[in-house]
Structure 1
């Protein structure tokens, strides 16, 4: 008899990283060669290809890439249809703003959402989840504000470079800075049925 979890597939972290970074690299290269509108179309296609690959490999798509892809498609379509690059430049503001609102709003309504996103990976105390949620909510809010400052004050090419090579390092550094908090508030995993 097969275990019910045998059909679940896991994705190697490097593969996940490559699939999340891939569309940004496509965006950067296409912008350098053909401009922001071609880059936007290429970004939309690469995002859909990355989602399809995530589904094929793991048979599931995480919430954050799914929401981000939805916003890419909406704002990318507006950019191309109206021939106005302001929309694609506002996309990171919207995504980060949505994540901040969801996390901080969930806390306000006593329904923290971060455990649903990361609960399979980490086991934290209630206080640990609360603090981590506040930190990530504020981080996403800060990233939304940062995007607004950057795209409104630099050239399109500089903004594309920042979006491609600035966001990810900032996010990785921030995530690593949360390790001490997560270590302090680690909780024992609940035993699985039959153990």
Structure 2
């Protein structure tokens, strides 16, 4: 459910971006609806609403969510202000590369890699495995950022819009499934150990 909420502004962005531009009237004002610029404005508004509601409900946001909303407001705002989609095209590569840096840096800063801090409440893994999983997430975000950059700047047309929504989601789901397949052996061992302790 949480992942869907995070992707909701992107889905709305995709729908509006694919619409043919048209003028609509709202509260006595005329606005353009359809195309990248108006879709970006709606992305900013829906992101503020979604993350605002999450913050109101949880009294906090995850650091990744705060970084994402900041990138949407800054780069999306520049896209709308200058009517240039180049700024928004940089959002996905920069956000993914920032995540890659954070995951990698966590292996050298503090006592635990980031993935262990995030998931140690749910599973127990040997220390070397935590580092392998953490490194794999860093590499994944590095490659995902590169794929977003390629889709945005090397492929003509608005393919980057499709990739931004469905490519990111699809690749993340596939990678997550592969991760759980890799971790399956350790999860089974952890479950067996827990079962013996309760006997």
Q: TM-score, normalised by structure 1?
A: 0.80
- Report the CA distance between 1:57 and its aligned residue: 4.1
Task: Report the counterpart of residue 74 of structure 1 in structure 2.
Answer: 74
- Report the CA distance between 1:66 and its aligned residue: 2.2
Give the RMSD, CA atoms, in angstroms. 2.2
State the secondary structure of the residue aligned to 1:107: coil
Q: Distance in 2 between matches of 1:50 and 1:125?
A: 37
Task: Report the counterpart of residue 38 of structure 2 in structure 1.
Answer: 38
Deviates more, 1:125-134 or 1:154-163: 154-163
Q: Distance in 2 between matches of 1:24 and 1:88?
A: 12
Q: Distance in 2 between matches of 1:89 and 1:20?
A: 18
Partners of 1:103 and 1:114 within 8 A in 2: yes
Q: Distance in 1 between matches of 2:184 and 2:77?
A: 43
The aligned runs of 1:83-94 (5 Å cut-off) are 83-94=83-94
Partners of 2:123 and 2:190 within 8 A in 1: no
* Mapped pair 1:107 → 2:100: no
Show structure 1 runs of 5+ residues with no match.
1-13
Task: Report the counterpart of residue 63 of structure 1 in structure 2.
Answer: 63
* Mapped pair 1:21 → 2:22: no
Kindly provide the CA deviation profile for residues 35-56 of structure 1, in whole angstroms up to 9, marking residues without a partner as x.
Answer: 1111111111111122123234
Q: Distance in 1 between matches of 2:38 and 2:121?
A: 38
Partners of 1:31 and 1:157 within 8 A in 2: no
**Gap change, CA 1:100 and 1:175, over 3 Å in 2:** same
Partners of 1:63 and 1:117 within 8 A in 2: no
Q: Distance in 2 between matches of 1:61 and 1:120?
A: 19
Partners of 1:128 and 1:185 within 8 A in 2: no
Greater RCO structure (CA 8 Å; 6+ sep): 1
Kindly provide the CA deviation profile for residues 12-43 of structure 1, in whole angstroms up to 9, marking residues without a partner as x.
Answer: xx2x1321121111110111221111111111
Rg larger in 1 or in 2?
A: 2
Show structure 2 runs of 5+ residues with no match.
20-33, 195-199
Give the strand-richer structure, 1 or 2. Answer: 2
- Report the CA distance between 1:156 and its aligned residue: 4.6
Task: Report the counterpart of residue 24 of structure 2 in structure 1.
Answer: none
- Report the CA distance between 1:123 and its aligned residue: 3.3
Partners of 1:36 and 1:85 within 8 A in 2: yes
